Amino acid sequence: MRPFVDTLAQQGELSVVRRPVDPRHQLAAVTKAVQKAGDQAVLFERVEGTSFPVVSNLYGSHERLRRLIGAGDKTFCQRWIELTDACIAGRDADVLERAPISIESEFVSGTLSDLPAVTYHERDAGPYFTSAIFLAREPDSGVPNLSFHRSMYVSDAELRVRLGSTHDLARYQVKAESRGEALPAALLLSCPPEIFLAACASLPYDASELVMAAQVSGGKIPMRRCKTIDLEVPASVDIVVEGRFLPNVKRPEGPFGEFMGNYVGVGDNHVFEISHVSYRPDAIFHALVCGSPEDLRPLEAVTAARVYRHVAAQVPGVIDVCCRPNVMISIIKIRKTYEGQGKHAILAALGSYLDYNKVVIVVDEDVDIYDLDDVMWAYMTRGRADTRAMILNDIPGFYRDPHKDHWGRLCIDATMPFGREAEFARKTIPGEDAIDLREWLA
């Protein structure tokens, strides 16, 4: 992580807080203020109760995400699909290598209480590891998996973890538990970008996110052995917590302020028993405010790529997809060639990701889909408000939704009527894009 943070500093994309900060609420409050001011990452040099500096908002910029995956002239969706296709095609590729034995000397043993104990929200049950990436192997095939799961700090010996039922790690745990076995796993903290982004990927069950990490980095992934469990972890990860998910044991976890903006209440969730903690002494700890731009931008981007792939396979002229300002919305940009094409795109999008797509909007190619003001302008000015909007009642939504709060769909075809392009063309001022105000203002 440190070279990544250094690069952000060199590029002027890192804010630095040098005064002491309280990890209970204050660190999160300052992070939110930095995010409101722009896309800067923020480094806290002096965090009370720990020797580790803390960094946040590393992934809060869509342009930074594009840069990290080498998008170049492509959209994020197009480049991400290229990477995932290459990962799936090379799922058996030899992309892992043994790190030099000298790497071990870079790490020291410690405890969880050495790490920053960050409490984010007012009603959170306590400190949480929010950028927590678990690495585990499928119990039968041995395929490694990376996935995010919030982890509540209880003691130096225990974390309590919510495993989403649709995640591969949850399936691994159920399989191990059915045999009366614990599931060994490693919690990876302070990861380099290729590991973090690979953990965001939605891959087939038998594909490995470590292969995806190799695709993102453009090289092999050096691995080192854990001390107390039969696993190898990327040597580039600065903080590793080894342990195992206990079979047939659940304990209260929560409440916690989740990514949708409200609290998830107390639930009986899985127990992760700690067996070893190791870290580089100069590590920078990564703290992620759930529901903030750093949490949402990667989720929105990879969800948009999933929707893009599905819609583009069925409807011609799909240019780009955006899932901002919230992952529950899909905004689709198309090059319209026939009447009704926008509604075809809507139907395809609805089937692309049944958990999300609470709102689907289709616009023409001249609309900025990353600017909701521009999107709504297209809806308000390019045709009737009533016949271009459809409400679909009683359609199940987000899978963790016992009260049906996310049921139903709103679909809007905000494209201009086909064949009337000249009538709805945007007004322009010749030369406006070439104006440099520094040449005109005193």
pLDDT along the chain (442 residues), means of 10: 95 96 97 95 97 97 95 95 91 83 93 96 94 95 93 96 88 96 97 96 92 93 96 96 97 87 87 97 95 92 95 96 91 95 95 87 96 95 91 80 80 92 89 92 86
Between CA 86 and CA 93 the distance in angstroms is 10
pLDDT of residue 400: 66
- Domain map of the chain by residue range? 2-293, 314-413
The class (CATH top level) of 314-413 is alpha beta
Task: Tell me the β-bridge partners of 21.
Answer: 47
Q: Return the exposure string of 360-376: e unless at least 16 CB atoms fall within 10 Å of the residue's CB, then b.
A: bbbbbeebebeebeebe
pLDDT value, residue 421 = 86
Of 349, 297, 296, 294, nearest to 320 by C-alpha is 349
Which tokens sit at 268?
């009986």
- Angstrom distances, CA of residue 129 to CA of 141, 148, 155, 290: 29, 10, 13, 10
- For residue 265, the model assigns a pLDDT of 85
Separation CA 243–CA 133 (nearest Å): 13
Confidence at residue 264, expressed as pLDDT on a 0 to 100 scale: 87
Residue 268: CB partners within 8 Å, gap ≥ 6? Answer: 250, 251, 252, 253
Q: Residue 125 and residue 140: Cα distance in Å, rounded?
A: 36
What is the CATH code of the structural domain delimited by 2-293? 2.30.110.10
Write the burial class of residue 247 (CB in 10 Å: 0-12 exposed, 13-18 middle, 19+ buried): middle
pTM of this structure: 0.90
ω into residue 281 within 30 of 0, thus cis? no
Bond prior to 116 in cis (omega within 30° of 0)? no
